A and B are shown apart, each in its own frame.
Chain A
Amino acid sequence: MSVKKSIPKVDGLGLMLGKPAYTDDLAPRDALIVKVLRSPYAHAEITSIDVGLAKDIPEIKCALTHENVPDRVFTRAGQGYPEPSPYDARILDKTLRYIGDAVAIVAGITENAVDLAISKIKVEYKVLPAVINFENALDSNVLVHAQGDSSSMFPIGHDPSRNLAAQYSMQIGDMEETLKNCDVVHRSTFYTQAQAHAMTEPHAAVAYYDFQGRLTIISSTQTPFHVRRILAKNLDVPLSTIRVIKPRLGGGYGGKQAIHGEFFVALVTQVTKQPAKLVYSRKEVFRSTYTRHQMRIDIKAGAMKDGTLKAIDVDILSNTGAYGEHALTVLMVAGSKTLPLYNHVDAVAFRGDVVYTNLTPGGAFRGYGAVQGNFALESMMDELAGILEIDPVEFRRLNMIKEGETSKIFEVMGEGTEGTAMTVDSCKLDECLDLALKNLDWKNKYPRTVVDENRVRGVGFAIAMQGSGIPYIDMASAILKLNDDGFFNLLVGATDLGTGSDTILVQIAAETLGVSVDKIIVYSSDTDLTPFDTGAYASSTTYVSGHGVRIAAERMKEAIVDKANRFFGVDNATFDGKNIVAGDQTISLDEFSTSLYYSEQQEQLVSHGSYVGKKSPPPYMAGACEVEVDKRTGRIKVIEYFAAVDCGTPINPNLARIQVEGALLQGIGMTLYEEVKYTEDGHLFNDSFLRYKVPTRMEVGPMHVTFVDSYEPSGPYGAKSVGEIGIDTPPAAIANAIYNATGVRLRALPITSESLWRELNK
């Protein structure tokens, strides 16, 4: 057995020992250093730009501006094609839409020379009024995309004349009538902040022409195949002339799904014919990549006195910043991956506007709307239970989704388009809830325990769901090759960004073939050498790529048996992973494969498998925590966090556990510490690890992650996804715990000591 086993990551030891493996490690020694001049203004037009003095510096080989790069409008989002994000960005634009937007690219031999050259570029800006507050953006007289040349590939509600990147609305049932008949209707407004991914490896990209004259890009990307497509299209070269290699990645969490430096290095190499590399500074990572979409979420919910939830009405304003990357889809996931939790309601409505502002763009980030939506929904459920004077646990049990049920939302809401109807064949949410609460000792701790006259502890929880890939969009494939001596190469398009997907795909291949994991050598994410995969996002790799690998391995097994039948002249040979047996004759795979290439039959065995999801089975979880509040200072400490997760079969329980623990801490960080902050003129001022508070190991209390026994019939070996679900519960669970400790309901993230102290001292 290879699945359900906690084997170490295949690349783990090498990475820990510091072997060269990341983008910058692999750059040619003579690569030109590429840097980008960034806009100092939130909104401005370049009236003139002169790179003459920069180019005069002998070490400088190239300086490019909007005047001499391809003028194409596209989206850098890095999604499936056709993309649901508006086409609203250029490689370099005359109009600058946020502080940090790209003005010019300079490449030279030394870093110092490039820095000097950047300071010598003469730019005249016409400074324009800017939209900073996203609540004032809609129908503002300041337009972020006033040029009128943005568009969408299909209707997404894109209307730049209103600062609308995208808009969405749906309703199931009669909302007005249902609310009218409810005993209780409650309404609250929640705010979630922009959060930075803060992956430890800054974004990096390398370009060079290889010995065949092909443009090779090494990039810290989650989507190598999308990078190839978007690059080729907008550089106006055939796809066949570009190779994209994704080496090891130093984390991504969605932050490396979109295009970042790839165009810049590609252009420099095109112009100079020399290798080029761009490694973002930490400041650039903060300012000039993207953040989680900031949101305002209005929820209205109606229920009967007996605790039956009848209606949920959600209205969202989402801030996509200067460009609309993932604008529509993040918005929709805020509803589509939260609202099905309460599938018994008579009416459910969801609408939202995604607005442009002159700030760092929003983009993909683990949780992808679901974490924002979950904070609002699961806070609201506690509020409503409180008003109804019903135990919040009972309230969930009465109303939450159960195994074998469905939600109309699955059919109505997809990601950018209509969804896919499905029944939920694995849902152990009830067990997750019981287990998380039992482990926390909810019975004895709810709602609060007093520590001393100043400190009080409260408990809170939330339930959550996510998805497993995007049905009929996310596609993955794998190739298996049998070598002499009986080992296999597994080639996958799937993109391991540190998650361990290479390892779990090896486990799935080994399980299917019946061989040990050391017989599978995996190579991933190289557009020349590996088959297609949409990339690492939407919690798709285990479920979608896993199936691709399973199918390839099943076919390989069939091919081995077929060749063995011919070898023995029988029709009933079997392969047990080690030996091939036909009656009383036996040959080991090692020997057989060697003979297959050197003496008998002499034909290479290769198999492939590809898969596109037909549904997106949600993983579920319950998160419960105890927090301590010091009433004198408002200090909030998460004492312990208990997570019970239904991800179907955890293919590698250790790696699944770390996915959840890491996501929990990112969620706790989002709840208590992290916020991308801007000044009134749009200057992102916490653009370093000194000022942006990534949780350290001193902040984290014990996190206890348990997996409930679950099996998803449609998943590879019963697996669902596990990469994102862990981030969803902390905001609401902690907010609910603070309420239970203090009676203060905080509806804006992050919940800082200061914000709590203010409420306590009102």
Chain B
Amino acid sequence: MEVTLIINGNRFSVSAAPDEVLLDTLRKLGYKSVKRGCDSTSCGICNIHVDGKLVPSCAFLTVRADQKEITTLEGVQDKAKEIAAYVTAEGAEQCGFCSPGNLMTLISLFNENENPTMEEVKHYLAGNLCRCSGYEGQHRGIAKYLEVKKA
């Protein structure tokens, strides 16, 4: 099926199979920040924004995204960099594979709630798995980011 996707502000006309998910479409188009960690929407690694809403791209049919605004990490690099610097300062990104999904989730949270508490952060990120860091380092980084932002 022919669909029009608006990815990070750019319009793409693509032909998508009926069962094709955005994760695969986006990777094919070169948006490699979108990564597959599982196939059961339970790891958060493929998270992107569709019309400003956080979604797992492995479970979002491409045909459903027709005429919708899609945001991947490639489209929010400045914002992402601002947050990421606090995580790398803790060394907590480790293998980095879960990071794009984490950042897309965090950016979604900050869009909804500019000054979340750490409890709110943890709750919002609960579906984002990380197997390397033990999470604590990520939380230290995010807490510092929030402090500096508030100041």
Contact = CB atoms under 8 A, between A and B. Distances in A.
Interface of A: 6, 8-9, 11-13, 15-22, 24-25, 112, 197-202, 248-251, 253, 279, 281-283, 497-500, 652, 654-655, 657-658, 661-666, 688-690, 694, 696-698, 700, 702-703
Nearest to A8: B88
B94 interface: yes
Contacts of A199: 95, 97, 131
Contacts of B38: 282, 688-689
A18 B94 contact: no
B103 interface: yes
Contacts of B135: 665, 697, 700
Given A112-B17, A199-B131, A251-B131, A498 B96 contact: yes
Given A251-B95, A661-B133, A697-B128, 20 more contacts: A12-B96, A13-B85, A13-B88, A15-B93, A112-B17, A198-B131, A200-B45, A200-B131, A201-B97, A282-B40, A283-B39, A497-B95, A498-B96, A662-B133, A665-B135, A688-B38, A689-B37, A689-B129, A702-B136, A703-B136
A664 B95 contact: no
B85 to A, nearest CB: 7
B93 A249 contact: no
**Residue among B84, B130, B132, B133 having the largest count of chain A Cβ atoms under 10 Å:** B132
Contacts, number: 177
Given A17-B80, A279-B36, A655 B134 contact: no
Contact of A22 (B85, B97, B125, B132): B97
B92 interface: yes
A281 B34 CA distance: 16
A654 to B, nearest CB: 4
B115 interface: no
B91 A12 contact: yes
B91 A662 contact: no
B80 A16 contact: yes
A16 B98 CA distance: 8
Contacts of A202: 36-37
A200 B91 contact: no
Interface of B: 17, 27, 32-40, 42-43, 45, 72-74, 77, 80-81, 84-85, 87-100, 103, 122-123, 125-139
A650 to B, nearest CB: 11
B73 to A, nearest CB: 4
Contacts of B81: 13, 17
**Residue among B27, B32, B96 having the largest count of chain A Cβ atoms under 10 Å:** B96
Contact of A253 (B127, B131, B134): B131
13 contacts: A8-B88, A8-B91, A13-B81, A16-B84, A16-B100, A22-B35, A200-B43, A200-B130, A201-B35, A282-B40, A658-B94, A665-B134, A694-B131
A13 B99 CA distance: 10
Ranked 5 nearest A-B pairs via Cβ: A18-B33, A498-B95, A15-B96, A250-B97, A661-B134
Contact of A658 (B32, B85, B128, B137): B137
B94 A16 contact: no
B22 to A, nearest CB: 15
Contacts of B138: 697
A498 B123 CA distance: 26
Contacts of B35: 18, 22, 201, 250
Nearest to B123: A698
Contact of B43 (A11, A662, A689, A697): A689
A662 B97 contact: no
A341 B85 CA distance: 40
B121 to A, nearest CB: 9
Given A18-B32, A662-B132, A698 B126 contact: yes
